[in-house]
């Protein structure tokens, strides 16, 4: 079970009102390689992991991804909360607005609702840890594309922090893969 601590994992500063950028950031709130995908994926894979250490790693990183998901929601919210309807019209946020107002929603930048088809849990630790390493690489890439189209310094600072975390997670999943592979070595092919 989880306990909520009333703070963000990393401070969120937003320098502009920018509905178009808010729409793009929702890619990481509800897109294929976003933070919701990450959190749900890792927390789902825990039951079939062969060692407590691997279970613990998935729990830790999965829980941290929920905190990142909260950060992205806060970024998107701060970018639109003071926007007038005139500022929203003509931007890619408009289609979001007529459905969800200014609330974040777990869909991608194009407005496609999040689906568990984005994630996988195979009941095989080797396959799952490769899935997780790939997931971190894909999330890293999304952050790079988002940084490339952002010009709000506060947003860029937070996105850089989140990108760094994905690289750290990638490395930790790589280490876990080596340990699990050694553990399984005598009884499995892969």
Q: Describe the crossing of helices 153-184 and 125-149 by its angle, rounded to 10 degrees.
A: 170
By CB under 8 A, which span of 11-19, 120-128, 178-186 interacts with its own copies?
120-128
Query: Of 34-53, which residues contact its own copies (CB under 8 A)?
Result: 36, 40, 43-45, 47-48
- Please identify, among the stretches 11-19, 99-107, 178-186, the one whose residues bind its own copies according to the rule CB under 8 A: 99-107
Which of 16, 82, 144, 153 touches its own copies (CB under 8 A)?
144
Q: Which is nearer to its own copies, 6 or 186 (CB)?
A: 6
> For residue 142, what are its two tokens?
């999304």
In angstroms, the CA 20 to CA 23 distance is: 5
Binding characters for its own copies, 47-86, by CB under 8 A (x = yes): xx----------xx--x--xx--x--xx--x---x---x-
Q: Which is closer to its own copies, CB of 117 or CB of 186?
A: 117
Distance CA 23, CA 168 (A): 27
In residues, how long is the chain? 190
How many residues touch its own copies (CB under 8 A)?
91
- Name residues whose C-beta falls within 8 Å of residue 73's C-beta, 6 or more positions apart in sequence: 29, 104
User: Would you call 175 helix, strand, or coil by DSSP?
Assistant: helix
């Amino acid at each position: 079970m989880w306990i909520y601590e009333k703070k963000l994992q990393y401070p969120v500063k937003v320098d502009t009102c920018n509905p178009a950028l808010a729409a793009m950031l929702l890619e990481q709130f509800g897109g294929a390689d976003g933070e919701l995908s990450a959190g749900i994926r890792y927390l789902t894979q825990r039951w079939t992991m062969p060692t407590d250490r691997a279970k613990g790693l998935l729990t830790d990183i999965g829980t941290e991804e929920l905190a990142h998901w909260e950060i992205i929601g806060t970024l998107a919210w701060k970018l639109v909360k003071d926007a007038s309807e005139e500022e929203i019209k003509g931007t890619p946020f408009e289609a979001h607005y007529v459905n969800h107002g200014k609330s974040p929603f777990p869909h991608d930048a194009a407005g496609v609702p999040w689906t568990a088809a984005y994630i996988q849990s195979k009941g095989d630790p080797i396959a799952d840890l490769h899935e997780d390493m790939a997931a971190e690489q894909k999330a890293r890439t999304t952050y790079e594309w988002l940084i490339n189209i952002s010009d709000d310094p506060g947003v860029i600072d937070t996105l850089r922090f989140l990108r760094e975390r994905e690289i750290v997670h990638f490395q930790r999943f790589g280490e876990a893969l080596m340990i699990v592979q050694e553990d399984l070595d005598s009884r499995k092919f892969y």
